[in-house]
Amino acid sequence: MTRLLTLNIHGGLGQQLRPLTALVQACDADILCLQECHPAVMQWLQRALPDASGRGWTAAYAPASYLGNAVLGRFPTLRTVQHALTASERTEVRSALDVCFDHPDGPLRVVCTHLDHRSADARMAQWTQLSQHTDAVAGGLLVGDLNALKRDDYDAATLARVAAERAAARWEPPGFALLDALGAAGFVDAMAGHPPSWTSRFQTRIDYVLAAPDCPWRMVGPRTVPAIDRGVTDHNGVMVELQHI
Cut 0.85: pTM above it:
yes
Give the span between the Cα atoms of 33 and 143, in whole angstroms: 7
Q: Given a cut of 80, is residue 192 above it in pLDDT?
A: yes
pLDDT for residue 54: 75
Q: Please give the Cα distance from 206 to 85 (Å, whole number).
A: 18
Cα separation, 221 vs 190, in Å, equals 9
From edge to edge, which strands make up the β-sheet containing 207-211? 77-85, 94-103, 106-114, 141-145, 207-211, 188-189
7: pLDDT confidence band, cut at 50, 70 and 90? very high
Mean pLDDT across 35-47: 96
CA angle 60, 32, 78 (to 5 degrees): 45
pLDDT band per the 50, 70, 90 thresholds, residue 29? very high
List pLDDT tens digits, range 143-177: 999 999 999 999 999 999 999 999 999 999 999 99
Smallest CA-to-CA distance from 34 within 95, 103, 121 is with 95
Q: Return the number of other C-beta atoms located less than 10 Å from residue 127's C-beta.
A: 24
